[in-house]
Amino acid sequence: MKKVKVIKIDADKCNGCRACEAICSAFHAAPKYSSTNPERSKIRVLFDPLKDIYIPVMAGEYTEAECNGRDIYTIDGKEYDECSFCRASCPSRNLFKDPDSGLPLKCDMCEEEPPLEEPMCVQWCLSDALTYEEREEEGEEEEKPGEMEIGLESLVKKHGMKKVLDTVAQMANKS
Amino acid sequence: MRYAETGFNLEIDLSRGNIEKEQTDPRLTELHLGGLGTNAKILWDRVPPEVEPFSPDNLLIFSTGLLCGTPAVGANRTIVSTVSPQTLLMGYSMMGGFWAPELKFAGYDKVILRGKSPKLVYLWINNDKVEIRDASHLQGKGAVETTELIKRELKEPKAQVAAIGLAGENRVYMASIEQGRSSASRLGIGAVMGDKRLKAIAVRGTKDINLARPAEFIELCNEVLQYIKAREEHPVPGVMPILAGLGSPQEMRIVDEEWHTTNFMWGNARTRRRDFWNQEVEEKWREIQENVRTRLISCYNCPMKCGAIISVPGISTYMMKCFSKLTYTMAAYSDLDFGFKIAQRATEYGVDGFSTPQVMAFALELYEAGILTDKDMPGIPSDNEGRFYWLLDRIVRREGIGDVLANGTYWAAKKIGKGAEEYAHNNIKKHEQLPLKLGMLNPVYFLMYCTGEKANITQIEGQFPQSPFPTMEEREEFVKDWIQVPDEKFKQYLLKWELRGEYGNPHYPDVQASCYIVDWQEKMHYIDDALGICAGLSSFPLKPPYHIHNYPTIISAATGMDIDEAGLTEITKRNRNLLRAFNVRRGLRRADEKPPEDHWKKRYPELEEELLDAYYQFKGWNNQGIPTKETLDGLGLDYVRGDFEQRGIYNGGKKKRPGTKQASQKSKKAKAEN
Ligand code: SF4
Ligand code: SF4
């Protein structure tokens, strides 16, 4: 059996406060909580108040290449920006990338030992736009890559394994 | 490393187009915290009393609070300070929203603007890249419109923009600075921005804000959040619904406006309509409000949802909060529907929703009284609502009579003469007040109205109930979990306070108790304004999550400075006295410290003198309201004392009144479309 973790997003309840962004970035800072920077957050609220558009989106997989096309949704008469609901950290847009290194960001459900009762964004969303659910499903628990692995993988994809190894070796020499 | 703050200010000389990034002295944080405190210090040091509001030497400071950008809930205030064209004293107005945290993330604590740009410009702050950009294409554009246009041309949907509308460009004394969901409206700071020919400041930041003791700090934030949750589940019983919870008065969420509509005055702060509210009105207003309100929205990192997106069919969408819902409606003796409509135009023009409707109602009274005639008002429509639109359009353009009215009721009445002064009856320190006219003098409110440096009651009151609870049972219930009081005596004051009789207003709270209560209320505002925490989570509502007992630990954990209650109180006193000193140096004296004559029907001149004497003494001020030498020296403000001595201020010397010229400002008028 594997555990499936779900953050349910009720966009109608979102008030655009971005508390989720603030606390996510603080939680993932090293040392924990030592700094805040919504740009490093793995959840972003895309909002356009004058169009009444508020969508919290959690960072998903990193993709090397952009899609072949882009989507624009209209729901209830409101036209959403290109790729609004997409979770990918992708070359076509400036979302879910660390502002300094450019490395992709990915939501890890605030995994830690001992496990939190709920991910931090859910805890800090007092409007109940974000709620948390866990359930069991058939299948194998899959090994999840850590933050460093995700970052390295994207570097390898971009520059090739050799370049990355060489750079690491150089850095090791320097220090 | 600097904690909570960035340690850098931006210094912008608009005359020369010069931009500097300057490191700040950490010692100033220890002395003044930040926000309003450090703004007051900069204004004291750099703006001598001779400087007129519309002089290039006047500074316009956009400041974050010390905690903005940290995860502290509700730390989102931008504190804008300058010399007010209306009061000629320090004007400081604040706005929530998202601008201040964004400035922190861009790496700055303040933007300090001086000089005057030769042409209309806007400032674009993108982390380390800061540029002054041409804004001639934005001339005459609405404040909300400007924000959208700038974000589009910069291709930065995440930029936060603070902008002025036509009113600011034309130096209207009620001009605000608008920032989408929020605005800094009071005291004409938008006019100073317009005088500097600065249309907007756009900011985008992607840097870190650091905490000194992260784990401890977050623990405290979690406690604040837990308290907010619990407090939301338990509204305070026995007070009007819009004030029972936290946040700014919840007027976007709540429809029940019986309290405002039957207690506040309509028209030019004139008529009380005790029987206005009934079921029919409630149903009608519910329908109107629910039809135009698309969503309730918050400021940065706050769950309170005090604002709303308002979409009235047929006109552009805008955002609103709090009492501006009713100010136009009530000034025009009109309906909520009208209020929502005209507020859209007013927001685009960028005007203060408190003063502006009152100025228009004042003009209409003068018209009815024959003091203003058809010659002054050529072509004015015959219906009340039409007249409001007509006046608003002229005021923001300084057109005809609008040019006179654009200076607010005090200056307009002086200019118009013919007895018009009688109609400018609701001012303190030349500034329009809430439209409230009451019966019995309330000693606590008397002191707050007199001495509040911002000349705006909502920026000094809070925490202590506005009126006594009728029964002892209710009082006991209220004080049971009243953890916010500085000490037990405040509970006693409330327990003893009766609706009338020996322990009722005006003699109770007695003189000494009144001093303590006012001092506490005011102190909390000064802390909030230095930290950038919203008053709606702290100094304003009953039983807020932030208070004098948890603030010291929160500040200490964030900054690494070790501050206790006594230390925090001392900083607050220092900031408070510095602000007062700035105004004293510009001529503020006891004679200026009085509520509108008709604020209460029952007045007690002797008691009022006694109250003011006692409060001045309590504050360490002399009987003119001037901080004494001992007070200043004790707070490390000996440089202020020296300046006072040099100017002969203690010898009743030189009451300088700069900038009383009321020349027409038409020449500066910007041309604009509708
Ligand atoms: S914390 Fe909740 S309400 Fe606030 S922006 Fe995030 S999802 Fe929306
Ligand atoms: S309490 Fe209201 S006004 Fe204050 S920060 Fe929160 S949402 Fe904004």
Domain boundaries, chain B: 8-204, 235-354, 375-432, 438-651
CA triple B399-B401-B402, angle to 5 deg: 50
Q: Where do runs of H (alpha helix) occur along B172-315?
A: 189-195, 214-233, 241-244, 258-263, 279-292
Burial of A174 from C-beta contacts in 10 A (0-12 / 13-18 / 19+): exposed
Amino acid in position A135:
R
CATH of domain B8-204: 3.60.9.10
Q: What is the pLDDT of residue B658?
A: 47
Task: Print pLDDT tens along chain A (175 aa).
Answer: 888 999 999 999 999 999 999 999 999 999 999 999 999 999 999 999 999 999 999 999 999 898 999 999 999 999 999 999 999 999 999 899 999 999 999 999 999 989 999 999 999 999 999 999 999 988 877 666 677 777 888 888 888 888 888 888 888 887 6
- Of the candidates B387, B386, B407, B385, the residue with the CA atom closest to the CA atom of residue B396: B407
Q: What is the pLDDT of residue B653?
A: 61
Q: What residues contact residue B53 under an 8 Å CB cut-off, 6+ apart? A: B82, B83, B84, B85, B88, B91, B188, B191, B192, B195, B659
**What is the mean pLDDT, run by run of 10 residues, along chain B of 674 residues?**
97 98 98 98 98 98 98 98 98 96 98 98 98 98 98 97 98 96 95 98 98 98 97 92 88 92 96 97 97 96 96 95 93 97 97 97 98 97 97 98 98 98 97 96 97 91 95 97 97 97 96 98 98 97 98 98 97 98 98 97 97 98 98 98 97 57 42 38
Give the residue from B99, B208, B222, B233 with the most A CB atoms within 10 Å of its CB, the best one to mutate.
B208
User: How many Cβ atoms from other residues are within 10 Å of residue B476's Cβ?
Assistant: 13
Give the residue from A35, A40, A92, A97 with the most B CB atoms within 10 Å of its CB, the best one to mutate.
A35
Q: How far apart are CA B249 and CA B232, in angstroms?
A: 13
Q: How far apart are CA B78 and CA B85, in angstroms?
A: 20
Amino acid in position B410:
Y
Q: With H, G, I as helix, E, B as strand and everything else as coil, classify residue B453.
A: coil
Q: What is the pLDDT of residue B667?
A: 39
Please judge whether B214 and A99 are an interchain contact, meaning their C-beta atoms are less than 8 angstroms apart.
no
Which of the following CATH numbers is that of domain B438-651: 1.20.210.10, 3.30.1780.10, 1.10.599.10, 3.30.930.10?
1.10.599.10
Burial of B374 from C-beta contacts in 10 A (0-12 / 13-18 / 19+): exposed
Assess whether the C-beta atom of A14 lies below 6 angstroms from ligand 1.
Answer: yes
Q: How far apart are CA B21 and CA B10, in angstroms?
A: 5
Nearest-CA distance B246 → chain A (Å): 14
Q: How far apart are CA B354 and CA B81, in angstroms?
A: 19
Q: Please give the full DSSP string across B159-170, using - where no structure is assigned.
A: -EEEE--HHHHT
Q: Which residues of A touch B296 (CB under 8 A)?
A: 15
- The tokens for B374 are 């058809």
Please judge whether A36 and B71 are an interchain contact, meaning their C-beta atoms are less than 8 angstroms apart.
yes
Q: What is the pLDDT of residue B408?
A: 98
Q: Please give the full DSSP string across B359-395, using - where no structure is assigned.
A: HHHHHHHHHHTTSS-TTTSTT--SSHHHHHHHHHHHH
Q: Please give the ipTM for the structure prediction.
A: 0.94
CA–centroid distance, A118 to ligand 1, in Å, is: 15
**In the 8-state DSSP scheme, what is residue B522?**
H
Q: How far apart are CA B527 and CA B357, in angstroms?
A: 31
- Of the candidates B154, B160, B162, the residue with the CA atom closest to the CA atom of residue B206: B160
Q: What is the pLDDT of residue A175?
A: 67
> Using CA positions, which residue lies closest to atom 2 of ligand 1?
A125
Give the residue from A10, A15, A57, A117 with the most B CB atoms within 10 Å of its CB, the best one to mutate.
A15
- Of the candidates A59, A72, A52, A49, the residue with the CA atom closest to the CA atom of residue A121: A59
Question: Does B218 reach chain A within 8 Å, measured CB to CB?
Answer: yes
Q: What is the pLDDT of residue B654?
A: 53
Q: Please give the full DSSP string across A14-64, using - where no structure is assigned.
A: -----HHHHHHHHHTSSSTTSEE-GGG-SEEEEEEGGGTEEEEEE---B-S
Q: What is the pLDDT of residue B240?
A: 86
Domain boundaries, chain A: 2-142, 145-175
- How far does chain A reach from its first CA to its final CA, in angstroms? 45
CATH of domain B235-354: 1.10.569.10
- Of the candidates B165, B191, B176, the residue with the CA atom closest to the CA atom of residue B353: B176
Please check whether residue B91 is in contact with residue B81, taking contact to mean a CB–CB distance below 8 angstroms: yes
Q: What is the pLDDT of residue B670?
A: 41
Residues with CB under 6 Å of ligand 2 are B 74, 76, 96, 247-248, 298-299, 302, 304-306, 534, 536-537
Substitution site in B98, B243, B534, B540 for ligand 2 pocket (most atoms within 8 Å of beta carbon): B534
Q: Across chain A, how many H-helices and E-strands are there? A: 4, 7
CA–centroid distance, B89 to ligand 2, in Å, is: 27
Q: Tell me the HSE value of B462 on the side-chain side, using a 13 A CA sphere.
A: 32
Please judge whether B208 and A29 are an interchain contact, meaning their C-beta atoms are less than 8 angstroms apart.
yes
Q: What is the pLDDT of residue B661?
A: 44
Amino acid in position B458:
T
Beta pairing, strands B8-13 & B110-114: parallel
Assess whether the C-beta atom of A45 lies below 6 angstroms from ligand 1.
Answer: yes
Please check whether residue A49 is in contact with residue A69, taking contact to mean a CB–CB distance below 8 angstroms: no
- Cβ-Cβ contacts under 8 Å between A and B: the total is 96
Q: What is the pLDDT of residue B337?
A: 96
Preceding omega of B443 cis (within 30 degrees of 0): no
- The tokens for B297 are 């929205």
- The tokens for B486 are 């500085």
Q: Note the ligand closest to the C-alpha atom of A55.
A: 1
Express each pLDDT in B330-362 by its tens digit.
999 999 999 999 999 999 999 999 999 999 999
User: How many Cβ atoms from other residues are within 10 Å of residue B19's Cβ?
Assistant: 15
